[in-house]
Amino acid sequence: MPVTSRRPAPARVRTRRTAPRGDGVAEGYMRVLREDHAGLSRVLREIEVQAAALGHAPDAARAVLGEAMRYLLVYQHSVHHPREDQLFERIRARQPSLFENMRRLVFEHRIGQSRAESLARDLRRATPAMLRGRPGVRLAKQLGDYVRHTRAHMRREELVFYSGAERVLSASDWAELARGPAPRDPAGDLHRLQSRYPRLAARLAAPERQVSGPSGAGAAAQDHLRLAIERVAEACGTAWRETADLARDGIADLAGVRSPVGLAKVSVSLTTRGARHAARLAWLPFRR
């Protein structure tokens, strides 16, 4: 009886499927956070305008500022920041080294809320006469400082925190995050904003020339100059902060050296990072 040879069946190759990030859950979650930042940016711009008006229109300016600070405390500090803190905790579990770079952002959430509460309290207690005098000037400066710090905080979050979260978290992480409540930013819908913060909503709905102040060539030139000054100030603040972070990281690396070989590696790393940072600082004025 002839023996028939059988070809062995081809081995089944198992392909490893990359787990999707929650079928768009990650993108949706991060989109909400970025929309929160967009709403916050609009409110911060209005805070700047009203802070400048405290001295000559204290009643109207204080009314708008009071609603703006209440919006920050009720939504941004009580809803938006807890969402970010949940992301921080997930990142901490997945990649502790990345979390260490973000620890400062968590701390800034607490500081920012404390400042907002203090500013809201000072606004409630101030009389029109006080706002026209030195207390009003001091309060306007504090509001400006709050706006600048908040903007810098948002930029660092989007550059470091948001990109890091999208890179290291898994589909299961995003699924867990999406299970919680998801109230939306009222600043994204002027009708909703008007029901809670009518004066603030009216200001945000006004034409740009009214929100920005008086119109005309002189006002436009002042706005352009102020924007340029703000950009330079923000650039200087960012450069100083990055330099301080580089120095802190270098000290930490040196403290962890345990051998001559380790010292050589750390020295090369510090030299490279320092050269890149110096080149970036040298180019910064031309970019601005």
pLDDT at 78: 92
Q: Please indicate, yes or no, whether residues 195 and 237 belong to a single structural domain of this protein.
A: no
Is residue 142's pLDDT more than 60? yes
Q: Please indicate, yes or no, whether residues 66 and 116 belong to a single structural domain of this protein.
A: yes
Q: Which residue has the higher pLDDT, 133 or 181?
A: 133
Averaged pLDDT for residues 12-30: 57
User: Domain ends where: 185, 213, 241?
Assistant: 213
User: Domain ends where: 187, 213, 239?
Assistant: 213
- Percent pLDDT > 90 in the chain is 36
Does residue 14 lie in a domain region? no
Q: Which residue has the higher pLDDT, 82 or 6?
A: 82
Domain, as residue range, for 34: 25-213
Q: Please indicate, yes or no, whether residues 221 and 263 belong to a single structural domain of this protein.
A: yes
Q: Please indicate, yes or no, whether residues 219 and 174 belong to a single structural domain of this protein.
A: no
DSSP the chain: -PPPP-PPPPPPPPPPPPPPSTTTHHHHHHHHHHHHHHHHHHHHHHHHHHHHHTTT-HHHHHHHHHHHHHHIIIIIIIIIHHHHHHHHHHHHHH-HHHHHHHHHHHHHHHHHHHHHHHHHHHHHH--HHHHHSHHHHHHHHHHHHHHHHHHHHHHHIIIIIIHHHHHH--HHHHHHHHTS--PPPGGG-HHHHHHH-HHHHHHHHS-HHHHH---SHHHHHHHHHHHHHHHHHHHHHHHHHHHHHHHHHHHHHHHT--SHHHHHHHHHHHHHHHHHHHHHHHHHHHH-
Q: Would you call 101 exposed, middle or buried from its count of C-beta atoms within 10 A (0-12, 13-18, 19+)? A: middle
User: Domain ends where: 148, 183, 213?
Assistant: 213
pLDDT by residue (tens digit) across 180-200?
A: 777 888 888 888 899 999 999
Q: Please indicate, yes or no, whether residues 120 and 253 belong to a single structural domain of this protein.
A: no
Averaged pLDDT for residues 262-284: 74
- Percent pLDDT > 70 in the chain is 74
pLDDT at 77: 92
Taking all residues of the chain, what is their mean pLDDT, rounded to a whole number?
Answer: 78
Q: Please indicate, yes or no, whether residues 135 and 191 belong to a single structural domain of this protein.
A: yes
pLDDT at 20: 41
Q: Please indicate, yes or no, whether residues 161 and 219 belong to a single structural domain of this protein.
A: no
Query: Cα(147)–Cα(43) distance, rounded to whole angstroms?
Result: 10
Does residue 153 lie in a domain region? yes
Does residue 189 lie in a domain region? yes
Q: Please indicate, yes or no, whether residues 40 and 143 belong to a single structural domain of this protein.
A: yes
201: domain CATH number is 1.20.120.520
Q: Please indicate, yes or no, whether residues 79 and 201 belong to a single structural domain of this protein.
A: yes
Does residue 246 lie in a domain region? yes
| Cβ atoms 187, 193 nearer than 8 A | yes
Q: Please indicate, yes or no, whether residues 32 and 140 belong to a single structural domain of this protein.
A: yes
pLDDT at 22: 46
Which pLDDT band, with edges at 50, 70 and 90, does 73 fall under? very high
pLDDT at 64: 96
Q: Which residue has the higher pLDDT, 285 or 272?
A: 272
pLDDT at 265: 79
* Distant-in-sequence, close-in-space partners of 284: CB < 8 Å, separation ≥ 6: 235, 239
Number of structural domains (the chain) is 2
Q: Please indicate, yes or no, whether residues 115 and 254 belong to a single structural domain of this protein.
A: no
Q: Please indicate, yes or no, whether residues 234 and 200 belong to a single structural domain of this protein.
A: no
pLDDT by residue (tens digit) across 23-52?
A: 588 888 889 999 999 999 999 999 999 999
For the ranges 7-16, 31-40, 52-61, the lowest mean pLDDT is seen at 7-16
pLDDT at 268: 81
